[in-house]
Amino acid sequence: MGEASREIMRKARQQVPEWTPSQVKQALDQQSGSNEQEIVLVDVREKHEWNEGHIPGAIHVPRGFLELQIEEAVPDKSKTVVLYCAGGVRSLMAGSTLQQMGYRNAISMSGGFGQWKNSGLPFVQPRLMTDAQARRYSRHMLIPEVGEAGQFKLLDSKVLLIGAGGLGSPAAYYLAAAGVGTIGIIDADVVDDSNLQRQILHNTSRIGEYKAESARETIEALNPDVKVVTYIERLDETNVARIIADYDLIIDGTDNFPTRYLLNDAAIIANKPVIHGSVFRFEGQLTVFKPYEGPCYRCLYPEPPPMALAPSCAEAGVLGVLPGIIGILQATEAIKLLLNIGEPLVGRMMTYDALAGEFSELRLYRDPHCPACGENAHPEDLPTYADVCAL
Ligand SMILES: [Zn+2]
């Protein structure tokens, strides 16, 4: 260290109080029981140093970005900000910068992370993305509401799609692109040429293949991070509880009423959110059924409509792009729920009229007498509607 640096250090030492690692540990332990976080621990080292290990609960603001990022990371300038680096020099300088910026209680940890570690104090090694993942998800990482932590959450998430058809196709495609780590697909059908006008997971060469297998091929080609679990069976009362148990949430892409009721009741018993979507000609709708926080499907429709009033897609027709829009909105709601961000469509039905080019929203309310989620309800005893119309 040259003469001038020594002088800067000497001045910084006069201005910035220093705590030893054990003093820092003690102060952190004291506040760990209370809700008030008076002390904020800031690691000012470079990213590669942070990646090799850091103190639990610390936030990372590299020295080079300190002036730019600290006010966002620690908006309250009256907090005690304990800074640390590798050996206690950079943190001392950083402390003097924070004082100039108006932070009243900036403290530098003497000896830095090196001494903390050598004293046998606890540290964590952060989970690392591969370089390929860092590049693939870079646009997520740039969004503060997602970031690296959110991307890891998505990679650890499990979403089940009921149906790899019109709604399931775009939903699964975008969830896979987003890096949702496990995607379950239940579908017993095979690809038919009349599906290809909207079911974009499949293609002409896959006609006759199981949709679930075709979906797996498409998803694996898009993103090798995603594990696809296929169920080539129909959802029924014998398998529904077992299949949904493994997932964080369910995207309902069915076009028939029996499955909707079956799924609704099972999801309430298992306490899993269902993202419901449906399409009809030029109109689509979606909502989130989150058990006990908003209404369920039976709160809205206690019993299925008579067959004559319930045409399926095959009978009614649908504009091919419409399930694309609704399916992507379902994927969007899934990501919001998985990351716990924004306002999910719980208790709100969003409708889209493609011809008018209009979205609108209806408020939905829980029915206290709902046979599935109301007081005194017994969802396990409710009838299924397998015989109402043909699956
Ligand atoms: Zn209900």
Q: How far is the CA of 93 from the centre of ligand 1 (A)?
A: 59
Both 86 and 194 in one domain: the answer is: no
161 is a domain residue: yes
User: Please, which residues have CB within 8 angstroms of residue 89's CB and are 6 or more apart in sequence?
Assistant: 9, 112
Q: How far is the CA of 374 from the centre of ligand 1 (A)?
A: 6
At 71 the pLDDT is: 95
Neighbours of ion ligand 1 (CB under 5 A): 296, 298-299, 370, 372-373
Q: How far is the CA of 252 from the centre of ligand 1 (A)?
A: 16
Q: How far is the CA of 297 from the centre of ligand 1 (A)?
A: 6
Pairing of β 105-109 and β 18-19: parallel
What residues pair up with 84 in beta bridges, in sequence order?
43
Both 61 and 168 in one domain: the answer is: no
DSSP for 304-373? PPPGGG---HHHH-B-THHHHHHHHHHHHHHHHHHHT-S---BTEEEEEETTTTEEEEEE----TT-TTT
Residues spanned by the domain of 357:
157-381
At 330 the pLDDT is: 98
pLDDT in tens, 220-252: 999 999 999 999 999 999 999 999 999 999 999
Both 205 and 94 in one domain: the answer is: no
Both 327 and 205 in one domain: the answer is: yes
Q: How far is the CA of 343 from the centre of ligand 1 (A)?
A: 20
Number of domains into which the chain is organized = 2
At 303 the pLDDT is: 80
Specify the CATH number for the domain of residue 88: 3.40.250.10
pLDDT in tens, 269-311: 999 999 999 999 999 999 999 999 999 999 999 887 776 566 5
pLDDT in tens, 340-355: 999 999 999 999 999 9
Q: How far is the CA of 391 from the centre of ligand 1 (A)?
A: 23
pLDDT band at 391 (very low <50, low <70, confident <90, very high): very low
Both 10 and 75 in one domain: the answer is: yes
Question: Which range in 12-16, 32-36, 255-259 is most confidently predicted, on average pLDDT?
Answer: 12-16
Both 99 and 217 in one domain: the answer is: no
181 is a domain residue: yes
Both 196 and 75 in one domain: the answer is: no
Tell me the chain's radius of gyration from C-alpha atoms: 27
Q: How far is the CA of 117 from the centre of ligand 1 (A)?
A: 54
145 is a domain residue: no
Domain edge (last residue) among 67, 91, 118: 118
Both 111 and 225 in one domain: the answer is: no
126 is a domain residue: no
Q: How far is the CA of 246 from the centre of ligand 1 (A)?
A: 23
Both 108 and 166 in one domain: the answer is: no
Domain edge (last residue) among 71, 91, 118: 118
Both 165 and 82 in one domain: the answer is: no
pLDDT in tens, 39-59: 999 999 999 999 889 999 999
220: which 2 tokens? 């694996």
pLDDT band at 381 (very low <50, low <70, confident <90, very high): confident
Residue pair 225/217 in contact (Cβ under 8 Å)? The answer is no
pLDDT band at 5 (very low <50, low <70, confident <90, very high): confident
Q: How far is the CA of 270 from the centre of ligand 1 (A)?
A: 14
Specify the CATH number for the domain of residue 370: 3.40.50.720
pLDDT band at 388 (very low <50, low <70, confident <90, very high): very low
328 is a domain residue: yes
Both 230 and 322 in one domain: the answer is: yes
Both 40 and 89 in one domain: the answer is: yes
Q: How far is the CA of 366 from the centre of ligand 1 (A)?
A: 6
At 168 the pLDDT is: 97
Q: How far is the CA of 369 from the centre of ligand 1 (A)?
A: 8
- Using CB atoms within 10 Å of the CB of residue 161, give its burial: 0 to 12 exposed, 13 to 18 middle, 19+ buried: buried
Q: How far is the CA of 254 from the centre of ligand 1 (A)?
A: 19
89 is a domain residue: yes
103 is a domain residue: yes
Q: How far is the CA of 349 from the centre of ligand 1 (A)?
A: 15
142 is a domain residue: no
pLDDT in tens, 145-184: 999 999 999 999 999 999 999 999 999 999 999 999 999 9
Q: How far is the CA of 299 from the centre of ligand 1 (A)?
A: 4
Domain edge (last residue) among 69, 90, 118: 118
At 237 the pLDDT is: 92
Q: How far is the CA of 156 from the centre of ligand 1 (A)?
A: 29
pLDDT exceeds 50 at position 213: yes
Rounded distance between C-alpha atoms, residue 184 and residue 203, angstroms: 20
